[in-house]
């Protein structure tokens, strides 16, 4: 975003229309938010390193939240006007960035705790558990967005808390025959799929 905005600012004398630098940076937030679905599908095709795939996927999750926060900060600065900006406005934008990010994460952690408690005490009514697992995270998203925090980061926090809990909360059994049979079946199916 910053590089694109800076490039547009440096090239602006050659434009037929004069645009303030803030408008150029605001425009750069629109066009620099990239959805990595195409990149990830290419990564799967060429079988890149798994760590690279995970890094790009993780970056894409946070990229949306960062772009939204930067857009709102720049839109507020455009309303003030570039000639009226002071250092205090830039400091407020930086504080707003961290407040929106960490506020969304905090709401997500609270939502994860509520979801965990609700599913723990509703184990006799298994029909309710999927409903709880859908509604409380969605409610966390809506609450975060309504108070102008990042709903995306709230949902991500819930996901990461549940991933951590699912790893340590259950007793895991090791069955070598099951694992070996599953691996063999996967290899046979994969080989057959490649031949056909």
Torsion angle of C-alpha atoms 25, 35, 52, 187, degrees rounded to 10? 180
Q: Encode 86-121: b = buried (16+ Cβ within 10 Å), e = exposed.
A: eeeeeeebeebbeebbebbbebbbbbbebbbebbee
Helices (H) and strands (E) in the chain, counts: 8, 0
Q: What is the pTM of this model?
A: 0.63
Per residue in 21-30, pLDDT tens? 777 777 777 7
pLDDT single digits (tens) 148-169: 888 888 888 888 888 777 666 6
Q: Are 24 and 9 in contact (CB under 8 A)?
A: yes
The per-residue pLDDT for range 131-149, each reduced to its tens digit, is 888 898 999 999 998 998 8
């Amino acid at each position: 975003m910053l590089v694109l905005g800076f490039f547009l600012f440096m090239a602006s004398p050659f434009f037929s229309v004069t645009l303030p630098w803030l408008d150029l940076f605001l425009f750069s937030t629109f066009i620099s938010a990239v959805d990595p679905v195409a990149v990830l599908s290419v990564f799967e095709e060429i079988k890149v390193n798994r760590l690279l795939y995970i890094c790009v996927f993780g970056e894409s999750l946070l990229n949306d939240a960062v772009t939204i926060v930067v857009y709102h900060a720049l839109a507020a600065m455009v309303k003030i006007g570039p000639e009226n900006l002071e250092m205090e406005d830039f400091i407020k934008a930086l504080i707003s960035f961290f407040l929106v990010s960490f506020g969304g994460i905090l709401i997500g952690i609270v939502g994860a705790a509520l979801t965990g408690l609700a599913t723990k005490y509703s184990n006799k009514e298994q029909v309710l558990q999927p409903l709880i697992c859908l509604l409380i995270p969605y409610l966390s998203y809506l609450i975060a967005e309504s108070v102008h925090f990042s709903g995306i980061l709230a949902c991500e926090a819930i996901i990461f808390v549940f991933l951590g809990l699912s790893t340590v909360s259950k007793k895991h059994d090791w069955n070598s025959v099951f694992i070996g049979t599953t691996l063999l079946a996967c290899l046979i199916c994969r080989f057959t799929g490649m031949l056909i």
